[in-house]
Structure 1
């Protein structure tokens, strides 16, 4: 299959069977190692309704794995359509993983008991695999192996708000089935405070999307971030 032409602002060739395939393979190994740890980690939540997918961390990890699996298949087949599918999914998974990293490490800096009870505390390496590695891998994929995102401000806000409140509804539904929340902080807050927390999280995800776009521009020489990438490419 013929490889698609590289976008003028894309730093390295992708899909390709070189650096791109190596990064996607390394990411998949990391994500699968986290899922393997999860499968062997027996807790009350693993047998409850929703299981570990009550955690935003695990939902984000599943999206990250899906993104990189599609990316790896695109590398192996040199498929432009799969490459575009990977990039479309990354618009959701990358800011979400950045958000997860900010929330987790930020709350841990305040009080670790806000994100997990003392008996469920993980050591650094599993925590890094769950709460830092996915964001790092996806950010590298964006900065080095992807064309610039063309999502505008309104769409970014809409996507962030939709994901935040879908997760809130899912958490509340699981709470009705199980009688408890996956994160201790949810038990501390009342309904309106939880709504505020999810709205704030959506704001942070919007901010992470804009920050990633800005960082992409600084690293890859895209000066006018507000101009759609397609129009910039056509103008050259």
Structure 2
């Protein structure tokens, strides 16, 4: 019963954050010109991640009532297969990435990622819904729910494709719109910017491997039983 409740809270948290982003965050152009320019909220990884998380927890919640909790993929429902694949490739690595990078840069110099003036327009509790809740809720999900991971080659390829696609997107915005999405990119030289982007892409891949490793450690007995069942067949 606790796990379905967690999934419901995940849906509620991220749905409300998206709703608040659309209807209640009104930052004047003189405060943040780039926010109103090319790409709208879809230029921000935080916003994209909100949709990833909402989609994931909605699938996870529906799976309790319409899917399966099978431990081997041949017995898995479509909902479980979607849930597990989305968790492995996007929900966990991108969710942890967003929270880690945001608060890491915030601790170094918040003006690199979230200037002080934004506190007037984005309440603290909403900021935490955008950037903090994803970390504990994804870790709790990792501990409470067994996920069947895809092959590492396929899983990392999908995570890498997403990271590459987003980097291309913000570079295109810089080219077409004439501005960088995040303040930190303005302060870096071209070489530093390229190194930072590469480091972020590598971190995304590392977080995929971390999720896979932790899943295999936490659910080692379940995985072993699944292998034995497969051999018995």
Aligned to 1:20: 3
The structure-2 alpha-carbon separation of the partners of 1:233 and 1:129, relative to structure 1 and needing over 3 Å to count, comes to farther
Distance 2:188 2:159 in 1: 21
Instruction: Sort the Cα spacing of 1:197 and 1:160 in 2 relative to 1 into closer, same or farther, 3 A.
Output: farther
- Unaligned 5+ segments in structure 1 are 1-17
**TM-score scaled by length of structure 1:** 0.79
**Contact between 2:14 and 2:54, CA under 8 Å: does it hold in 1?**
yes
Q: Which residue of 2 aligns with 1:65?
A: 54
User: Distance in 2 between the 1:189 and 1:24 partners?
Assistant: 39
Equivalent residue, structure 1, for 2:171: 172
- How far does residue 131 in structure 1 lie from its aligned partner after superposition? 1.1
Residue matched to 2:160 = 161
CA distance in 2, matches of 1:217, 1:118: 41
Alignment of 1:113-192 (within 5 A): 113-121=111-119, 122-152=122-152, 154-192=153-191
Deviation at 1:102, TM superposition (A): 1.3
Larger helix share, 1 or 2: 2
Superposed CA RMSD: 2.6
8 Å Cα contact 1:71/1:83 also seen in 2: yes
2:14 match: 31
Q: Distance in 2 between matches of 1:202 and 1:193?
A: 14
TM-score by length of 2: 0.80
Alpha carbons of 1:124 and 1:151: their partners in 2 closer, same or farther (altered >3 Å)?
farther
Q: 205, 210, 230: which one pairs with 1:234?
A: 230
Asked if structure 1 preserves the Cα contact closer than 8 Å seen for 2:159 and 2:208, the reply is no
Shift >4 Å, 4+ stretches:
229-233
Task: Tell me if structure 1 keeps the 8 A contact 2:38–2:173.
Answer: yes
Which residue in 2 is equivalent to 1:74?
A: 63
Aligned residue among 25, 29, 32 for 1:41:
25
Aligned 8 A contact 1:34 1:126 in 2:
yes
Work out the CA distance in 1 between the residues paired with 2:85 and 2:159: 15
CA distance in 2, matches of 1:107, 1:232: 46
**Corresponding pairs, count:** 215
